[in-house]
Homo-oligomer: A and B are copies of this chain.
């Protein structure tokens, strides 16, 4: 979910009236959100605190985002450092490298309650549900890219079920991380990749 009222339509002159939105407020708010997420987590991030930190009125936040959660999701989208696409030469090694990075990325810490929070919030907000879905499917793109590259190279059969393998590789990671709390280490992800490419 992007900030509300983004004049997405190209070519429309937007016929702006009234004082325009402060251009730098979005950034200030997103930056403050990112700061607070890592300092106090989602649980400690109140809208009052956020507004104060961003040097902004609460109304300015609500004018731009529908909810705290829409804002947080946008913060993840815009501010979080992306996991780079590895290029080790083979699908197997690319997936090994990528999953190593994923493990690093989901280290437990102050911000590790963010994704669970968004998941719960999306139960009550269809628009957020759609945005979160879109965001998380986007994060599959690296895995998909690696697999497609493998098919092009002839390393994988042309009829490889990319969707399924993507799920099979990524899902157990989140399943263990969020649900069963089982160990997620390199040994596990490597075993998983071997199984998926078997």
Residues of B within 8 A of A119 (CB): 116, 119-120, 178-179
List the B residue with the shortest CB-CB distance to A116: B120
The answer, yes or no, to whether A172 is at the interface (CB within 8 Å) is yes
Please report the C-alpha to C-alpha distance between residue A89 and residue B168 in the assembled complex, in whole angstroms: 26
- Dominant secondary structure of chain A at its interface with chain B: helix
Please report the C-alpha to C-alpha distance between residue A161 and residue B124 in the assembled complex, in whole angstroms: 38
Please report the C-alpha to C-alpha distance between residue A126 and residue B70 in the assembled complex, in whole angstroms: 28
* CB within 8 Å of B: which A103-155 residues: 112-113, 116-117, 119-120, 122-124, 129-130, 132-133, 136-137, 140
The answer, yes or no, to whether A39 is at the interface (CB within 8 Å) is no
Q: Are A180 and B136 in contact (CB under 8 A)?
A: yes
The answer, yes or no, to whether A167 is at the interface (CB within 8 Å) is yes
Distance in angstroms from A183 CB to nearest chain B CB is: 11
List the B residue with the shortest CB-CB distance to A168: B168
Residues of B within 8 A of A91 (CB): none
Residues 159-198 of chain A: 1 if any B CB is under 8 Å from the residue's CB, otherwise 0?
Answer: 0010010011011101110111110000000011001001
Residues of B within 8 A of A117 (CB): 120
A-B pairs, top 5 by smallest CB distance, nearest first, are A171-B175, A133-B181, A171-B171, A113-B123, A116-B120
